[in-house]
Structures are given as structure tokens and as C-alpha cells.
Amino acid sequence: MRGAHPEVYDGATRRALARLANPALATASEAIWEAALATRWSREPAWLHGDVAAGNLLQTEGLLSAVIDFGCCSVGDPACDLAFAWTDLSGGARKTLLAGTGLDADTALRGAAWALWKALFTWTRPGSGAAAEGPARVVRVIVDHYA
């Protein structure tokens, strides 16, 4: 589904939102989700990695030196590659990445939606327990960013 519009996960996201115990966080998350669904990639399909994550980025002396694992490589909307901005970067680094891509705010919002879907799904699935601490943080980071 990488390169597709985040709406492919609409059902799963809405089920996760319904399981979220914090009504205010659920409402804010749903508003972000719906805002993202209202946007579209209107440019030519772009090449995308599909799984930009800390484990797929190699560093040499603190600088990015390689990107690995192209198993999800595809063409389409590159927004899914921006999910990394919310899952692994702090505020300043996130702003630098988003500004440096040259992509518009709608694409960044869809990237946030990709991260939101995954975090909500992981956080609210039965038996997630203490393992949900990371996904819960991601949801809060996204809500705070768009508040």
C-alpha cells in the first residue's frame, strides 16, 4: 500500500480511534486524519522508499551514509516516507526534514496520517500493554504538531 493515499487504512484507523481511551486525543487525532484524507497528491507519481525507519538508515560519524532495505520501494504519493518525521525525529529535526524535502504541507499532513494510522493501530490493539508507550508518544507528537 506504500505510495497509496492513506485512505486505504481508513477502516483500521477509525476502529483504532474508537478503542482509544482518551476522548480528547481521539477527537484531535480524528480531525488530523480527516484533514489528511481531504488532500491528494496531484503531481506525477514519485519514487519512494516505503519504509524509511531508523533501522534502514545507516550513519557514519553521525551523518546519513546509506539507506537500505528497498523491499517496499514503489511509485506514487511519497507521503508515506515522511512518517519518519513523526516517529523518529524531534521538533527541530522534523521541521528541517519537512522543509528540506520541498514537498507541500498537504504531503506532510498525509505523512503524519501514515504515522498516525500505524501508531493508533499498534497502541490500541488488544494486549499491547507497555509496548504501546512508543506509539502513544507518536500520536501525541502528531496531535501537538497540528494543534
Q: What per-residue confidence (pLDDT) applies to 130?
A: 66
CA distances 38 to 18, 24, 113, 141, Å, are: 20, 21, 11, 21
What are the DSSP calls for 13-32, one per residue? HHHHHHH-S-HHHHHHHHHH
Q: What per-residue confidence (pLDDT) applies to 69?
A: 86
Helices and strands counted in the chain (H then E): 6, 4
Query: Average pLDDT, whole number, for the chain?
Result: 92
The pLDDT of 20-35, averaged and rounded, is: 96
Measured on CA atoms in the order 64, 146, 4, 133, is the torsion positive or negative? positive
Q: Across-strand partners of 58?
A: 66
Q: Is the pLDDT of residue 9 over 70?
A: yes
Quick check: helix, strand or coil at residue 4? coil
CA–CA dist 80, 113 (Å, integer): 9
CATH architecture of 6-146: Alpha-Beta Complex (3.90)
Q: What per-residue confidence (pLDDT) applies to 36?
A: 98
- Give the percent of the chain with pLDDT over 90: 69
Mean pLDDT is highest, among 54-58, 74-78, 139-143, for 139-143
Phi-psi region of 130 (alpha: psi -120 to 50; beta: other; left: phi over 0): alpha
Q: Which residues contact 65 (CB under 8 A, 6 or more apart)?
A: 58, 59
Give pLDDT tens digits for 93-139: 999 999 999 999 999 999 999 999 999 999 998 877 766 788 999 99
Residue spans per domain, the chain? 6-146
Q: What per-residue confidence (pLDDT) applies to 125?
A: 85
Q: Is the pLDDT of residue 78 over 70?
A: yes
CA–CA dist 138, 147 (Å, integer): 14
Provide the grid cell at 123. Answer: 497502541
The pLDDT of 80-87, averaged and rounded, is: 93
147 vs 118, more confident: 118
The pLDDT of 20-42, averaged and rounded, is: 96
